Amino acid sequence: MSKNIAKIIAVSSTAHPLHKFVKKLCEALSEELKIPYEIRIEDYVFLTEHGDKDEYGFAYLPQIFVEYSDGSVKLVLSKIPINEKLKPDLEKAKNIILEKIA
């Protein structure tokens, strides 16, 4: 599954309420897929090139990508799933990403 994935890239902000969740998600994926991860802080150039944008054309945080060994980048998560308790859902987020890279 992850043979040609070089790394997971998250773009976030230390001030964002979901930053710790994104870090935890990247750590879990990194461990499961045996690939490194990188957290870029407020890299809006990267987001503008590769990420989702809101209805006004602005990139937003946080978003998660995979970078393949050929250098190409794929967006794998731009909206953090929320569970019935209105908390970020780690397992659901992991499953969404794993499905997109399968």
Q: Which of 88, 79, 10 is nearest to 42 (CA)?
A: 10
**What is the structure's pLDDT at 24?**
98
User: What percentage of the chain reaches a pLDDT higher than 70?
Assistant: 97
Average pLDDT for the chain: 95
Percent above pLDDT 90 for the chain: 96
State how far the Cα of 89 lies from the Cα of 83, in Å rounded to an integer: 5
Query: Mean pLDDT over residues 30-37, rounded?
Result: 96
Give the N- to C-terminal CA distance of the chain in Å, as an integer. Answer: 6
